[in-house]
């Protein structure tokens, strides 16, 4: 990325008071279970979103995305959702909530620059939100815990965009460091950092580059109905969570409900088991078992949770054809995503040959990047 301080000065005439960067997040297991009490295993990628902020003397709010070459503006008294403001609504939502919670209502000059690709399941919007929120908290000096900061971000997005981002993404950004995985357990409301000595192993993140309208036709159609169904089901069974059922007991209880709903419930319960097994494999340094668990998770996401497509499945299956490619799975929560594969660094050229074959079969040109656990959110400069 270009030096964001220089971009900010060129745009507004002076250097920013603060620059914060936040990482992309790669989900390895459990991201579809978070809302239902399951743990999520993630790490922070080397890709980052940088946000530079200066305060103004008036109430004007100016946002400049250098990576998109777009400018948006409003004012503190007019903080509200506007469809045409697109990406800046994520920032406005948080700032609106933060002011409601007692932050000074000052004008801002904001510059964003990011090398995180959008719509491939790497939390690009959440990284922008975290970098902005972290910068504002540091700049105004408001006493606010990490948990409160995350809740304000989520409240703002729900209020402005009527969607709620994953808590785990933000807690991974806040707790990540090189050589470590981050586990967010929503049931226990706990975050833990797990060392992962990968030796000569890497993650390869593959963007399948399938147009969004094609992916939307391939995904299952139960997602909108599933949360409401599950809430009613648990109330009827007098349970707080699916995790209160043993696997066999849940399968019996779900015997008479629609097949699509039943399979999603099974995925949630079995994914929790996979997370526990994967963490045990990490502790032992058992790369083969860890990789197989990733692949089993993909198979369940494909068959039970129904959030895959032939393109993702084809690339995921290639791990069975190359020695020392240990496993792979889809990353993303639906209608967008990528594949993360776990392998020896030495076999990347052979794996790339399979990606060339994918292009010949499907007609889409995939891209990939080598990825390792990296730093979390950080302040990189202050005046």
Which residues does 171 contact at the CB level (< 8 Å), separation at least 6?
146, 150, 182, 184, 191
Find the catalytic residue in 85, 169, 207, 344.
169
What's the per-residue H, E or C state across the chain?
A: CCCHHHHHHHHHCCCCCEEEEEEEEEEEECCCCHHHCCEEEEEEEEEEEEEEEEECCCCEEEEEECCCCEEEEEEHHHCCCCHHHCCHHHHHHHHHHHHHCCCCCCCEEEEEEECCCCCCCCCHHHHHHHHHHHHHHHHHCCCCCHHHHHHHHHHHHHHHHCCCCCHHHHHHHHHCCCCEEEEEECCCCEEEEEECCCCCEEEEEEECCCCHHHHHHHCCCCCCCHHHHHHHHHHHHCCCCHHHCCHHHHHHHCCCCCHHHHHHHHHHHHHHHHHHHHHHHHHHCCHHHHHHHHHHHHHHHHHCCCCCCHHHHHHHHHHHCCCCEEEEEEECCCCCCEEEEEEEHHHHHHHHHHHHHHHHHHCCCCEEEEECCCCCCEEEEEC
Radius of gyration, CA atoms only, the chain: 21
Which conformational region is residue 347 in: left (phi greater than 0), alpha (psi within -120 to 50 degrees), or beta?
A: alpha
Nearest to 27 by CA among 144, 162, 170, 148: 170
* 224 in active site: no
Which residues does 84 contact at the CB level (< 8 Å), separation at least 6?
none
Residues 66 and 7: beta-carbon distance below 8 Å: yes
The set of catalytic residues is 169
């Amino acid at each position: 990325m270009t030096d964001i301080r220089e971009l900010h000065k060129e745009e507004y005439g002076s250097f920013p008071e603060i620059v914060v960067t936040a990482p992309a997040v790669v989900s390895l297991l459990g991201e579809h279970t978070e809302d239902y009490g399951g743990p999520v295993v993630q790490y922070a990628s080397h890709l980052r979103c940088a946000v530079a902020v200066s305060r103004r003397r008036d109430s004007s709010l100016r946002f400049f995305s250098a990576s998109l070459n777009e400018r948006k503006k409003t004012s503190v008294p007019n903080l509200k959702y506007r469809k045409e403001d697109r990406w800046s609504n994520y920032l406005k939502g948080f700032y609106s909530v933060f002011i409601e919670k007692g932050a000074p209502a000052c004008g801002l000059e904001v510059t964003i620059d990011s090398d995180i690709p959008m719509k491939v399941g790497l939390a690009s919007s959440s990284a922008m939100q975290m970098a902005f929120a972290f910068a504002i908290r540091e700049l105004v000096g408001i006493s606010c815990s990490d948990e409160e900061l995350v809740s304000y971000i989520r409240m703002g997005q729900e209020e402005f965009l009527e969607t709620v981002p994953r808590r785990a993404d933000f807690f991974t950004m806040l707790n990540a460091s090189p050589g470590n995985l981050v586990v967010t357990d929503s049931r226990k409301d706990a975050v833990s950092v797990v060392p992962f000595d990968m030796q000569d192993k890497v993650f390869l993140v593959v963007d399948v580059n399938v147009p969004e309208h094609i992916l939307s036709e391939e995904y299952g159609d139960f997602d909108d109905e599933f949360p409401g169904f599950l809430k009613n089901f648990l109330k009827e069974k007098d349970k707080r969570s699916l995790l209160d059922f043993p696997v066999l007991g849940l399968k019996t209880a779900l015997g008479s409900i629609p097949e699509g709903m039943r399979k999603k419930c099974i995925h949630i319960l079995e994914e929790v088991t996979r997370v526990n097994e994967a963490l045990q494999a990490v502790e032992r340094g058992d790369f083969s078992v860890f990789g197989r668990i990733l692949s089993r998770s993909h198979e369940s996401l494909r068959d039970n949770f129904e959030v895959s497509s032939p393109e993702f499945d084809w690339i995921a299956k290639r791990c069975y054809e190359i020695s020392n490619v240990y496993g792979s799975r889809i990353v993303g929560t639906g209608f967008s995503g990528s594949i993360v594969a776990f392998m020896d660094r030495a076999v990347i050229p052979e794996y790339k040959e399979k990606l060339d074959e994918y292009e010949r079969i499907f007609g889409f040109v995939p891209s990939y990047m080598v990825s390792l656990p990296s730093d979390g959110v950080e302040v990189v400069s202050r005046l």
